[in-house]
Amino acid sequence: MQTPPAPPSGSGPGSEPTRTDFGAPDPSRPSARREADDLVPPGRPPVGPPSGAKRPGERSLFGRLRGAIATIFPEWIGGSRRLHEFADLVAAARDPAQVEAALVAQAGKTSGASRVELVVDRDDGGFATPAHLVALWPEGARKMTPAEVEALGYPLCLGLWCGADYRMSLLLYARPGSGGRWPARVVRRLTTLCAVAAAALRGLHAGRRARRESAAATAAAVRDATFLAAILPYALSQADRHGEPLSVLCIEVDRLAELGRLHGLDAADRAVRRVAEAAAHTLRGSDVVARLDDDRVIVMLPNTGPAAARTVVGVVRSAIAAASHPVGGGPDFTASIGVASFPDDAHDSASLLAAADEATTRARVEGPKPATPPLTS
């Protein structure tokens, strides 16, 4: 009877593990390490680290891959870090000049250029204008002569676009001997820097525009003597017709002439302007604030009787308290306020203004009253 062939080595129950020519378990098999541990005689520790443990100094696949990329392409890691640093700088900037300086510095470090310039070459309407240099890298560099420009060659020009808004260009000059070629990945990073800077500059300029427009609106709310001469008689006629009261405040900065002699006429003018603007900010839209040619400030309060007018005086005095300490320095000042009401004190505009002026004189004689805000509980 023919004997059946023996099963392949390591394929049947109780079979010996597959071995190499040196008698050790085949390391190509997944269970080789476990089999080697099983074959260790009793009393001897297993050879090598336990199954599944990392060898000393062994890193994960991701760690080895990242290390290889950082070694072969160090500019990839550095470029991303510089983009994050630039984003942090832009987020903390409060002035367009900070963004402009950070842009040229980061562009120089990212590109390896010998020189980076940021120029304004468009007006608000987007039309081309002669280039105006606003930022330069490296620090301390001077304006180039035509011969130096020609030696460096034509620069790489990137526009600072934010939507349809484009007013500035970034110019990068290659280092001598580089051939003036820029890798595509470098151009892409520079384009990203320009986009971030353009958005930041647009936001900062928009904020400045809004503040200027707000200041202009406040200045427009302070009328002149011509406007007051036209509106006060009409307001009095309407108050008389409807049986309503009307009050007028007369505000004068104390010792204004002395303030002008000691600190200059500009300082005196600013003091009067701050008083008028403080009153305009505080009062209702129906009230009228006017600055006269003799630097008195007149406030017309429709439908306001004597008691309510005295309350308004306290509110205006509190507003003047903040205006009397201007930010950035300047002399402090106080103001005297007089009040007159129709029909109690006068029946026409000239008499009403005269009564308010006399009340201001009496307040000044009593002594300057610091415009201190009332205490609140």
* Cβ-contact 228, 320 below 8 angstroms: no
Residues 80 and 210 in one domain: yes
* Cβ-contact 275, 298 below 8 angstroms: no
Residues 234 and 348 in one domain: yes
Report the pLDDT value the prediction gives residue 326, as an integer from 0 to 100: 56
Report the pLDDT value the prediction gives residue 18, as an integer from 0 to 100: 44
Residue that terminates a domain, selected from 158, 191, 215: 215
Report the pLDDT value the prediction gives residue 176, as an integer from 0 to 100: 77
Residues 230 and 195 in one domain: no
Residues 286 and 153 in one domain: no
CA distance 303 to 206: 39
Residues 261 and 162 in one domain: no
* Cβ-contact 142, 204 below 8 angstroms: no
Residues 301 and 361 in one domain: yes
Which position has the token pair 């805000």?
373
Residues 95 and 168 in one domain: yes
* Cβ-contact 313, 249 below 8 angstroms: yes
Q: Which residue range(s) make up the domain with 96? A: 74-215
Residue that terminates a domain, selected from 184, 215, 246: 215
How many domains does the structure of the chain reveal?
Answer: 2
Report the pLDDT value the prediction gives residue 74, as an integer from 0 to 100: 47
Residue 375 lies in a domain: no
CATH number, domain with residue 210: 3.30.450.40
CATH number, domain with residue 240: 3.30.70.270
Residue that terminates a domain, selected from 180, 215, 250: 215
Residues 189 and 305 in one domain: no
Report the pLDDT value the prediction gives residue 220, as an integer from 0 to 100: 56
CA distance 82 to 110: 7
Residue 88 lies in a domain: yes
pLDDT, block means (10 residues), the chain with 377 residues = 51 45 48 46 51 52 53 51 81 87 91 91 76 87 79 87 82 82 89 90 77 59 90 94 95 87 85 89 89 92 94 90 62 85 93 94 74 36
Residues 197 and 313 in one domain: no
CA distance 288 to 299: 6
Question: Do you know the residue count of the chain?
Answer: 377
